[in-house]
Every structure is written in C-alpha cells, then in structure tokens.
Structure 1
Amino acid sequence: MSDIIQLLPDAVANQIAAGEVIQRPASVVKELVENALDSGADDIVIHIKDAGKTLIKITDNGCGMSPTDARMAFERHATSKILSANDLFCIRTMGFRGEALASVAAIADVELRSKRVEDEVGTLIHIVGSEVKTQEPVACNNGTTITVKNLFYNVPARRKFLKSNTTELKHIINEIQRVALPNPEIKFAFYHNYSPLYELVKTNFRKRIVDVFGKTINQSLVPVKEETSLVNITGFIGQPKFARKTTGEQFFFVNKRYMRHPYFHRAVMQAYEKVLPPETFPSYFLFLDLDPSGIDINVHPTKTEIKFENERTIWQIIHASIRESLGKYNVVPSIDFDQSGSIDIPVPEKEGGDRSYPEIKVDPGYNPFDQEKEISTGNWGQSSRDSQNREHWEDLYSGAETNYREEQSQLSFKGVEPENRQTEEKFTGKKVLQLKQKYILTPVKSGVMIIDQKRAHERILFEKFMEVLKSESVASQQQLFPQKIELDAGDAELLKNILDDLLSLGFDIREFGKNTFVINGTPGVLDVSSPEIIVEKLLEEYKNSPVDARAKAKEQVAISLAKASALDYGTDLGKVEIDHLIDNLFACATPNYSPEGKKVLTIQPLEDIEKMFNK
C-alpha cells in the first residue's frame, strides 16, 4: 500500500490560514493597517470600494521595503518582528506571525508598491491566488501601498456568506476605530467609494475620541489615571447619564493593542453599579500599559484575546480606578451607603421655620365597601379594527367594580392633586393607578389589569407608523429652527442607509457635510421637542435589531422609531393622559403585544389575589 500522507501545496495551506486570519474585508483592513503602523508610518490613507469587496487600498509613509523584503513578505511565517520563541513574550509590535500578507494573497488579487528612502526606485509585486504574476522596479513614493481587489474571488463559499455592504462597512469602521484611537499621534484618512468618512489629524487622545465619535461625546468624558507597580491605567470613561443601550464605545487597549476582555468589562460595569440606567452601557476608553512579559497575546489568530498573568489583581485596580474617577468628578456620591428603604427626615429651618405637624385630611363618610354603579367606558378612539375585538375589550374594561380613594391607598393617584380632583374627574370615570411610573393598574371584571406603559405606547405608535407607510401620504411637521446633528462614521452610514424610509415616515433629514445632518422636519404624528434625540435613539434601537434584510427595512424602521419615540419609564402621567393611553391602546389591532412581541398587559385574577390573603 502506498503512502497517503503528503504536504499540502502552499496555495492550499495559505487558503486554510486565510480562513483563520481573514474572515471578512475588515480583517484585511486590520492586518494591513497594523503592518503600516509597524513600519513607522505617521500618515496612513485607506480607500475601500463596495465595503471592501471590490477594492481595499492602504497607503503609508513608513520605512518601505527592499526588493528582497517585498518578495519575502508574502511568504508564510516570514516576519521581521521575532527571531526566537522568547521574543513572543516581549512583543510591542502589532503584527508578528507573518501570516497576513500570505493569507490575503491566497484569496485575492494583490498588488504591492514599496520604496525605501535610500532607494532610487521602488518595487512592484503582483500576486493572484498565491501565484506571483509580476515583480519589477517601479517609480513610486517612499513607503508602501497595497491594493487588494476581488476578495474571496477563488473561495465563492466565503464570499457568499459576506453580509450587506452596510454591515461589512460597519465592521471596517470598527477596526479603524480600534487602530486610530490608541494612536492619536498618527494621521488617518478613510474613504469609502471616494467619500471621506474619517480625516483624522495628529492630536491628543481626548481630541481623537471626539474626532472619531463626534463633538457631543466630549461633555461626557471623565479622565481616569492610575499608576501602580503592576499596571498603569489611563484614559476616559463616560458619565452614567450618557450611557447608551447599545455597545460600541467600550474599548480596552493593552500596550496600544485593542483587546476584548469580558472579565475586565465586568470590573467596569460593577464600578458603575447603582448609578447606571438599566439595560445601558457606559462608554470607556482605557489604556493598560504593563510589561509585555506579563501578558500572552499569541492566543488567537486575530490577536484580540489576551491572557494576563495577574488578571485578578488588575481587575481590582481597574474597578478601583473607575470608582475613584466617578467619585472625584462628583458622578457618584462620595459616601456610597445603601439607602434603599430609608426614610428622608426633613431638616427644620434654623429660624422662623414651620415646625407644625402635617395636617392629615380624613373623610369621616368614607366606606370602602361602597360600590360605584356607573362607570364610563370613555372614548375608545378611531381605528379600523375587528368589531369582536373591540366588544371583548370594552366588556372587559367596563367591568370595573372597586372605587379607590387616594388618601387611603399606598399607590399614588398620579397627576391628581386634592385641589383639582373634581376638575380631573369631569373627564372620565375610569379608575386607574400608576405604579412606580412604569405600570398602569385598572380594575376589570375578573381582577386587576396591569399595563406596561412604555410597551403600550410603542404598540400605539407602531400601528400609526405602519398606517403611514401603507398610505404613502404623511404630513411632515417642519421645524422652526432646523436642528443639526453630528454622528460618528458608523451611525452616519446607517442613517444614510435608512433615509428613504425615514422620508416616507415624515422626516425631512438632509446631509450637511461629513457625518453631519440637518433635521428640517419630523412626522406630524409625533410631538417632538428634541428631534436630534429621537434620531439618535432611533439609530440605537435600529442597531439593536437582529434583522439585517432590506425586505423588512420599513417595518424595522417603524419598530425602531416607535421604541425611540415612546414615553420612557419614570414618566409621570396625569389621569387624563393615562385614560388617553388606554383608549388608544385598545383601539389598536393587537393591543396585547408590543411590536417586538413582548407582553403589553396582563390580568391578575381576583381568585389569585384572594388566595394570597387566605394563606
């Protein structure tokens, strides 16, 4: 029997390596920009076309390469960064494995032009699918230019699984941010389809953050600085009130290399404990500088997963440094005792203060067993819905039996003060309570109905927006003073992608220079006082959506806009506002569920309530 084990051809081995190193166009951009940094460049220009699927071109003014080095750079495991195994534990360069160029050349059409300062002419190398087509002298500028065309042309299965241009472009922007942020002393320019997305000048770290993420982030940044014998931590964190519902502004860098580290992320989140709005993420841009011998970056081909020798100690230092910065800049109280359940005792004035006991009003004729015989069902709104659905909810809702009194209830009767109660009660006879500025409680025949006020409002707005999209006729409310909004490059591209859908919903938003837009009008169905905030929240909700298909883009925009425009938890509602919300909810075709399928209301049966008291 003949031997069956044989060495793989270089082209096949390089394609296998490419499967680990090059996952998408963003991977190519990352590897080539890191090589440019290692070459000593301080001016890097990035051109891409069709989100990198058609063209990726990186130009730098670094040291350049000799003809021999230029050819050797495409050999697998060829590197100038390490000479022995010990060098793996003292790495300060970005690349070191010698896999990037060989992997890219195996799955694309690659052209390299490079020249050193001391050379008269440069070198041109053209490689297609690991096969060298040309190597010849060429006139070119000092430094290196690498052009990558038709990525994955010979691996159609990989190319087929690439996402939309919007998604792939977002990944490229993320990679550029991860390289540009820790290197503010380097000039970066980034163009997509010949349009500038970033033109970053040499500056300091704080200004680089502002240049990348927009001017609005500047007011939220809190400095962090901690020096220890083990690690030095510098950078900025965001104030809790500016936290966002999506991730994207959370960055760890170790020795200027971006890394993902869930364990250290928990240190940050625990430092924000009790001061962060629920389901939000604070911004942070943290540099860790320590001896390279204390870390291992040779864990994963993309080099974003890093192991630390003293992980637990560093966790404590990160947590303490962030808590210190939050306290130093008065973001959290300096004395952080748990005061849940405590009683606020008013301090009397020193002189002339009113020290009399509070007056308690008592209704001597109140009988908790009295029943109100006539309950108004209120206005059920105007909507084209199923008549059986309406009859069901009207019958259920009109069965309220219990008459609540504000003075005796532990739940506050929101929006109704003693002096104007009669005025409020003229509008409706419904009995409603707002609990914790989050839930609405109202009696029904079978027990108590509990409504999530935010989800209810989302359902109402969503159905309005969908009607607008179907009718294709919407009134736009023009702003007296148009609002200008500046976004980071990723959000700007996302907004461009959905502008047509927003236009059909009644928004009038126009581009106004690089990553800047002007909001001239908003949908007439919305009561919008701050349109720029609505647009920012809309983008956050849209990014949170798992849907990536353009077929459902309009529906997704309607969902995102409904969530962005809906009243937030913590909003205090008056009785008339609650009645209006309930009426509009039951005028909806599907009042039970939010646009995302979450439960809007539930009924606590009277039998279950009675069981709780009979235990």
Structure 2
Amino acid sequence: MADIIQLLPDHVANQIAAGEVVQRPASVVKELLENAIDADATIIKLIIKDAGKTLVQVIDNGKGMSATDARLSFERHATSKIRSADDLFHLHTKGFRGEALASIAAIAHVELKTKQEHDDVGTVIIIEGSSIVSQEVVVTPKGTSLSVKNLFFNIPARRNFLKSNAVELRHVIDEFHRVALAHPSISFVLYNNGSEVFNLPISNYRQRIVNIFGTKTNEKLVPVEEETEVLKISGFVGKPEFAKKTRGEQYFFVNDRFIKSPYLNHAISSAFEGLLKNGNHPSYFLNLNVDPQTIDINIHPTKTEIKFDDEHTLYALLRSAVKHSLGQFNIAPVLDFERDASLDTPYNFNNKETNTPVIEVDRSFNPFKETYTSGKQTTAFKKQTVNNWDSLYVGLESKGTKTEHDFSEVHFESEETTLSVFSDDNAIEQVQTTYQLHNKYIVSTIKSGMLVIDQHRAHQRVLYEDFLKNLTIKAGVSQQLLFPLELHFSTQEIQIINQLKDDLEHTGFVFLNVTKETVEIVGVPVTVPDSEVSIILEQLISDVENEVPDSHFSTTDLLAKSMAKSLAIKRGQSLLKDEQEHLVNKLFACKEPNVSPTNRTTFVTMSVDELDKKFM
C-alpha cells in the first residue's frame, strides 16, 4: 500500500493556523497592538477602514526591526520572545507563539515599514498571501508601521462569515479597550474611516477608565487594593446602584493581559450578593499580579484563557478583597457592634460650624398667678369653675327628635360577597372570564376548553406589532417630559444611538441634544414611562452590539423587538381583571398571536376531552 501521509505546504499550514488565530478583524488588531507594546512603544495609533475589513494599520514608536528581523518575522514559529520551553513559564511579553504575523500574511495583503533608532533608513516589505512581493529600503520614522489590507481576500468563504460593519467595529473597539486599559502608561489613538474615535493620553489607571467610558464613570468607581504573598489585586469595581443588565464593563487583567474567567467572575458576583437587582451585573476593572510560574498562558491560541495553579485561593482572596472594599466605602451594610449609628452626623450638617444653643429663663414666671408678664408676651390662666360643666351638652338635642335606638343611618364599611356554587343564570354573567395563575399566566375559557396565555410573551407580541407599525408608517405618538432627561453613555454607545436616532424618533422619542457623552431627551413614546428610558436604551444598545437576532433583520425590526422586550409586563406582575381581558383581546387582534417576537409560544390550549382524560 502506498504511503498516504505527507507534509502540508507552508501556505496551507499558515491558512490553518490563521483559522485559529484570526477569526475576524479584531483578532488582527489584538495581535498588532500587542506586538507594538512588546516593542516598548509609548505612542500607538490604530487606523481602521470598513471595521477592519479593508484596512487595519498599527503605527508605533517602538524599537523597530532590522532588515533581517523584518523578513524573519513572517516565518512560522519565528519569535524573539522565548528561547526554550522553560521560558513559557516566565513570560513577561504578550506574543510568544510566532504564529500571528505568519497567519495574517497568509490571508491578507500586508505592508511592513520599520526602522531602528540607530539606522539611517528602514525596510519596507510587501506580502500577498504568504508570498513576498518586494523588500526595499525606505525612509521612515523610528518604529514600525504595519498595514493589513483586504482581509480574507483569498478565502471568500471566511469573508462571508464576517458580520456587518457595526458588529465587527464593536469587536475591534472591545479589543482596543482591553489593550488600552491594561497599559495606561502608553498613549493610544483610534481612527475609524478617517475620524478620531479615541484619543487616550498617558495617565493613571482611574483616568484611563474615565477617558474610555466617560466622565460620569468616575463617581461609579470603588477602589480595590489587596496584596498577599500569592496575589496582588488593584483596580476598581462599580457601585451596585450603577449595575447594568449587560456584562459590557467587566475586565480581568492577569499580569497586564486581558483574560476571560467565569470562575473568577463568580467570585465578584458572590461579593455583590444581596446588593444587586435580579438580572443586573456588576462592572469591574481589576488587575491581578501573580507569579508567572503559577499560571499557564499557552492553552489557547488567542491567549485569553489562563490556567491557574491554585484557583481556589485566588477565588477566596478576590471575593474577600471586593467585599472588604464595598464595606470600607460604606457601599455594603456592615455590622459594627461598637458603633452607634444614631450618633452619626447627618450628611446635611457635615463639616458645618456648631452653634451653642442659648437658654433664656424667665425668673418672674409664676404659674399660680392668674396673669403674668414676660419681656415679650402676656399669657393668661383662668380658673375653670365647676358650674360650667353643663355647657358641654348644649346643642345636642337641637339636631332632631330621633329615638334613642335609631339605626336608620348605620353603614357597614364592606360586605363580603360569595358566589353560590349553584348560581342562577343572572349570576353567571357576573363571573370573571379570565384568571391570573401565579402572576405568570392568564387562564381563559373558550368553547372547546381552556386557554393558558404567557402574559410576558403575549405583551411582547402586542407591543412589537405596535412599534413595528409606528416605525413603518413613521407615526409614533410622543409625550412631552416636564423636565429634560439627561443620560450618560460611553463614546461607543453614543455612536450606536446616533445610528438609531431617526428610527427612535419615529417611535416617539424626541432628542434635544446628543453630545460625546450625554443624551438629552425631552419626549418619549406614550407607552414608555420616563423611568424606563435608560433601561430601554441600554437593552437596545446591547442588542445592536450583539446583533440580536441576526444581521439579515432590519434595524427597524431589531428596534421594535428590543423595545417590546424591555417594556413588556414581567412574570410575577399582578394584573387587574380589565387588564387581563384587554391583553387577551389585544393578543388575538395581532397578525401572529401564536408566537412572541422571538418565536416563542405565547399560549396553549387544553380541550375538554383532554381534561376529561385527567379524571379517568
């Protein structure tokens, strides 16, 4: 039998590696930014076009490379970060596999310009699909500029898997945030389609968080500091009252490297136990410094998953540190048996000067005198004689000549009414036609048997069709707010609101002003209470970022779904009889009453025959 095992060509092996390393433009952004950081750059610029599909360019002022190193950097498993297998457990750099540039060059057009500080001229290399087109001398400033153009140009199937520009841009910005947050000592600038999105100067960690997520974030942060032999924790957690429905602002950094860890995330959630509303998630920006020998980074191509030597100890320390910070800054309730809360200075009187009360005594006062005179007022005390007791009953007999035991005007506060099991025909008309079961379901009778409706899904369907109709015909009814509503969002969230602004106005929202960090609203749809506006917009932004339900749905449909989900009555909410009947009638007036906007069943029926079988 002939031999069938053979070595893969380099360009095929590189494309297979690219499938692991490069899933989307954001993967390229991550690898290039980390290379710039490893080159000791202090200023890094990221330029993208069409969410990175057309261009991803990273410019830094780092060390640069020689002509030989520039050529070798695109070879598989060529790296300057490690020399032996033991170095994998002493890592202080970002990249070390030597796969990133080789994988990127296999699926894109790459142009590299680089120069070291002591060299007079630099090197430019152009690569297309792993093939080096040219290598020449070029005049370029110190550092490296690497451009990745036309991603997946030679793998159309992979390009078809990419999402819309809005979604891919969100992933790029997420990666930019992760790298920028981990390195506040480096200046970062992001340009998208020629416009500046972020300009982050060198700063401390708190200021870097504020520069990314907006000035309003500053008042939400609670510092966390803890240092032990095993672990050093530093960073911030968000106050419980600012928790969101989404998990957007959750960042773990281990030795300045962003990681994802559901186990450690659970430690944070347990520290916030009892402080958050159901369904809300805390925000946190935590740096964990551990001995590199106690972690293994080399378990995933993207290096976002880390294996810890002793996870249980880290869990306990992290939970304890966060809980301590929440208690120390009076965020969480604490038990202190030596402290009397009633002796605390009220907030309004804090740091105010104390005024000694003045006591005035009138020494001439005599309560047994009929009259006495003080400096400011005259008070008279008159003796009441016993002869006036009969005046208490004057006028009681002038209101009529009723008998002593006349109860003609006695009224009962309430009368308890019960229906007879065997009621007559007239009583049947007064029986309630709908019932609410466990504040979740509405039970109604039909000719063939019984109908059970999920109130949350049914209301979603009703609201969805109403919003969709208003968006389509652009006839949303708005109610004016007495005072403008000012909401604070991050730069990325403001961009999404600007994209949806026209559609939101068609549903009934009226925007007075939209700045880089704030949104001012003066009108909302009639069905929307002003207290729910921030929740609706947060949910809407989350849905757009994650492109729920999918990219082939229109923005109008997405907006209607998101608003219906936010405003629908929840399970557990009690409804009056009229509200139950109104919801049932509105549901069956819909075009598709059988399913919710997310294709979930809204009601089930049970016939009399099925009920009869239950009693057989």
**Worse overlay, 74-83 or 441-450:** 441-450
Show CA shifts across 1:12-47 (max 9, x none). Answer: 222222121111111110000000011111111101
**How many Å separate the matches in 2 of 1:375 and 1:119?**
103
Taking the TM superposition and a 5 Å limit, the aligned residue runs for 1:153-552 are 153-334=153-334, 366=416, 368-369=418-419, 401=431, 439=440, 454-455=456-457, 457-477=459-479, 483=485, 485-509=487-511, 512-514=514-516, 517-519=519-521, 521-524=523-526, 526-528=528-530, 531-543=533-545, 546-552=548-554
1:34 equivalenced with 2:34 (yes/no) = yes
TM-score, normalised to structure 1, is 0.76
Distance 1:584 1:240, change over 3 A: farther
Report the Cα distance in structure 1 between the residues aligned to 2:313 and 2:426, rounded to whole angstroms.
Answer: 65
SS in 2 for 1:181: helix
1:129: which partner in 2?
Answer: 129
Which amino acid counterpart does residue 227 of structure 1 have in structure 2?
A: E
Q: 1:510 to 1:24 in 2, by over 3 A?
A: farther
> 1:135 Cα shift?
1.6
- Give the residue type in structure 2 aligned to 1:401: V
Query: 1:401, 1:444 within 8 Å by CA — same for their partners in 2?
Result: no
Query: 1:46 corresponds to which residue?
Result: 46
Q: CA deviation at 1:600?
A: 5.6
**2:404 matched residue in structure 1:** none
Structure 2: distance between partners of 1:207 and 1:464: 44
Inter-partner Cα distance in structure 2 for 1:191 and 1:256: 24
Distance 1:89-1:581 versus aligned 2 partners, 3 A rule: same
Counterpart CA distance in 2 for 1:537 and 1:375 is: 50
CA distance, structure 1, for counterparts of residue 607 and residue 138 of structure 2:
83
- Aligned-pair CA distance for 1:54: 0.5
| Distance of 2:418 and 2:280 partners within structure 1 | 43
Matching residue of 1:83: 83
- What per-residue deviation string (whole Å, max 9, x for no partner) do you get for residues 542-562 of structure 1? 556632224443222111112
Paired residue for 1:383? none
Q: Distance in 2 between matches of 1:86 and 1:545?
A: 43
Letter in 1 for 2:493: D
Rounded Cα–Cα distance in structure 2 between residues aligned with 1:3 and 1:600: 61
CA–CA distance in structure 1, aligned partners of residues 443 and 35 of structure 2: 65
Give me the whole-angstrom Cα distance separating, in 1, the residues matched to 2:231 and 2:314: 7
- What letter matches 2:161 in structure 1? F
User: Is 1:400–1:443's contact at 8 Å kept on the other side of the alignment?
Assistant: no
User: Aligned pair in 2 of structure 1 residues 78, 452: CA closer, same or farther (>3 Å)?
Assistant: same
Tell me, yes or no, if the aligned pair for 1:121 and 1:138 is still in contact at 8 Å.
Answer: yes
Identity of aligned residues (%): 47
Q: Deviations over 1:206-260 (max 9, x none)?
A: 2222222233433332222221111111222223333222222221110010111
Give the C-alpha shift of residue 172 in structure 1. Answer: 0.8
**1:531 Cα deviation after fit:** 4.2
For residue 85 of structure 2, what is the amino acid of its counterpart?
A
Match of 2:396 in 1: none
Counterpart amino acid of residue 491 in structure 1: E
- Partner residue, 1:20: 20
Which residue type is aligned with residue 596 of structure 1? T
Residue 124 of structure 1 aligns to a residue in which SS? strand
Against the structure 1 CA distance between its residues 217 and 366, is the aligned structure 2 distance closer, same or farther, given a 3 Å change threshold?
same
What do the CA deviations read for 1:363-401 (whole angstroms, capped 9, x no partner)? Answer: 79635455898999xxxxxxxxxxxxxxxxxxxxx9663
Displacement of 1:274 after TM fit? 3.2
* Gap change, CA 1:440 and 1:331, over 3 Å in 2: farther
SS in structure 1 of the partner of residue 475 of structure 2: coil
Contact preservation (8 Å) 2:440, 2:573: no
**Is the CA contact 2:440–2:572 (under 8 Å) kept in the aligned structure 1?**
no
Q: Distance in 2 between matches of 1:334 and 1:606?
A: 58
- Cα 1:30/1:592, change in 2 over 3 Å: same
Q: Indicate if the aligned counterparts of 2:434 and 2:445 stay in contact, CA closer than 8 A.
A: no
Give the distance between the partners of 1:5 and 1:323, measured in 2 at CA. Answer: 58
**Which deviates further from its counterpart, 475-484 or 147-156?**
475-484
TM-score by length of 2: 0.76
Distance in 2, Cα, partners of 1:196 & 1:481: 33
Where 2:182 maps in the other structure, the secondary structure is coil
Q: Aligned to 1:223, what secondary structure does the other structure show? A: strand
Q: 1:587 to 1:9 in 2, by over 3 A?
A: closer
Structure 2 equivalent of residue 142 of structure 1: 142
Tell me the equivalent position of 2:63.
Answer: 63
1:116-155 Cα distance to aligned partner (Å, 9 max, x none): 2222222211111122222222111111111111111112
Distance 1:13 1:247 in 2: 36
In the alignment, is the contact (CA less than 8 A) between 1:541 and 1:563 conserved in 2? no
Q: 1:312 to 1:399 in 2, by over 3 A?
A: farther
Distance apart, 1:65 and its partner CA: 1.5
Residue 515 of structure 1: how far off its partner (Å): 6.0
Distance change in 2, residues 1:119/1:515 (3 Å): farther
**1:78-135: CA deviation from partner (whole Å, max 9, x where unpaired):** 2111112111101011111111111111111111111222222222111111222222
Counterpart Cα distance in 2 of 1:17 and 1:473: 52
Aligned to 1:407: none
SS at match of 2:312: helix
Whole-Å separation in 1 of the counterparts to 2:66 and 2:268: 46
Aligned to 1:553: 555
Distance 2:446 2:483 in 1: 50
Aligned-residue offset at 1:592: 6.5
Aligned counterpart, 2:117: 117
Q: Determine if contact 1:246/1:543 at 8 Å carries over to the other structure.
A: no
- 1: CA distance between counterparts of 2:36 and 2:158? 26
Q: Distance in 2 between matches of 1:246 and 1:375?
A: 54
Larger CA deviation: 269-278 vs 287-296: 269-278
Question: Residues of 1 paired with 2:469 and 2:151: CA distance?
Answer: 43
- In structure 1, the gaps of 5 or more residues are 337-360, 377-397, 403-429
In the aligned structure 2, how far is the partner of 1:533 from the partner of 1:143?
45
Amino acid at match of 2:184: P
Q: Is the alpha carbon distance of 1:448 and 1:96 closer, same or farther for their aligned partners in structure 2, counting shifts above 3 Å?
A: same
d(CA) in 2 for partners of 1:172 and 1:373? 71
Q: After TM superposition, give the deviation of residue 200 of structure 1 in Å.
A: 1.3
- Using the alignment, how far apart are the partners of 1:168 and 1:243 within structure 2? 26
Paired residue type of 2:506: S
In 2, Cα distance between equivalents of 1:511 and 1:21: 42
State the alpha-carbon separation in 1 of the partners of residues 513 and 141 from structure 2.
35
Given that residues 45 and 59 in structure 1 are in contact (C-alpha distance below 8 angstroms), is that contact kept between their aligned partners in structure 2?
yes
2:564 is matched with 562
Distance 1:240 1:602 in 2: 39
Show CA shifts across 1:452-499 (max 9, x none): 665554343223212213434334556676555443344334334434
CA contact (8 A) 1:109 1:128 kept: yes
Q: d(CA) in 1 for partners of 2:426 and 2:558?
A: 39
User: 2:321, 2:609 → 1: CA distance?
Assistant: 53
The answer to whether the Cα contact below 8 Å between 1:400 and 1:444 also exists between their aligned partners in 2 is no
RMSD: 3.9
State the SS of the aligned residue for 1:29.
Answer: helix
Residues 539 and 241 (structure 1), Cα distance of their counterparts in 2 relative to 1, 3 Å cut: same
1-side partners of 2:607 and 2:333: how far apart? 43
| 1:585/1:161 CA distance change after superposition, 3 Å | closer
